[in-house]
Amino acid sequence: STWGPLSMALRIAARLSAARALAVPRRWASSANEAVVGERAAAGSGKYVQDIVAQGHSLVGDEPLSYPGGTNLGPNPYGFVLAGLGSCTSMTIRIYADQKGYPLERVSVRLHHEKVLPPKPAAPAPGAGAAAGGAKTVAKVDKFSRFITLVGPKLTAEQRADLLRIADRCPVHRTIANGTAVMSTVEENATH
């Protein structure tokens, strides 16, 4: 139907317009290690729309339409995490394949995120006794699944295994897997 492409065109135009009207100046986050995020100041832009400047690039974040108040003008925060992990994985594989001279024609990464219960610990040995305090609530953990496609008919099985191994060495994968420290400070009347 013609409404499908028209609707997509209107959404793309809205995103481009929103990116041009950022409430956050580009100069605030121009280095490789900075990003600035702020609520969209424009009236009628949606309750959760966020203007983002990362390394000098303008982005828009939002919640999906299924979330009350979301307008779906951009990915939600986990969409950005998935995109960061996927692009880092793809780039790491490409750099390694080029350095090794592997005949990799193209790499793509599809990702999925969900909250899951952690694996159950091993059962205590017989006679070890029950844990003190009774049953405990178990918090869910984040599970990221990557589905990596390596295109290259001349890639050997060993090269494919090597590229899959190197995917776990991407810096974003390591950051997520190793845990992080997030430091927060309130800036009073910041002008950046």
Q: Which of 172, 28, 10 is nearest to 91 (CA)?
A: 172
pLDDT in tens, 157-167: 999 999 999 99
Q: What is the average per-residue pLDDT within 34-47?
A: 82
Higher pLDDT, 18 or 72: 72
**Strands of 104-192, DSSP E:** 106-116, 141-151
Would the pLDDT of 2 be above 90? no
- The rounded Cα 54 to chain-centroid distance in angstroms is 14
Q: What is the average per-residue pLDDT within 163-183?
A: 94
What per-residue confidence (pLDDT) applies to 134? 58
Q: Which of 146, 67, 145, 159 is nearest to 105 (CA)?
A: 159
Task: Reduce the DSSP state of residue 60 to 3 states and report it.
Answer: strand
What per-residue confidence (pLDDT) applies to 23? 52
Q: How many CB atoms lie within 10 A of CB 52?
A: 20
Torsion angle in degrees (nearest 10) through CA of 100, 101, 102, 104 = 120
Can you tell me the distance from the alpha carbon of 98 to that of 116, in angstroms, rounded to the nearest whole number? Answer: 36
Q: How confident is the model at residue 16 (pLDDT cuts 50, 70, 90)?
A: very low
Distance of CA 136 to CAs 80, 127, 133, Å?
33, 21, 8
What per-residue confidence (pLDDT) applies to 132? 54
What per-residue confidence (pLDDT) applies to 179? 87
Would the pLDDT of 31 be above 80? no
Residue type, 78: Y
pLDDT in tens, 130-144: 555 556 788 999 999
Would the pLDDT of 61 be above 50? yes
Supply the mean pLDDT for the chain. Answer: 83
Q: Which two tokens stand for residue 121?
A: 């610990």
pLDDT in tens, 78-123: 999 999 999 999 999 999 999 999 999 999 999 999 999 988 877 7
Residue in the structure block whose two tokens are 């899959």: 164
Q: pTM of the full predicted structure?
A: 0.75
What per-residue confidence (pLDDT) applies to 19? 45
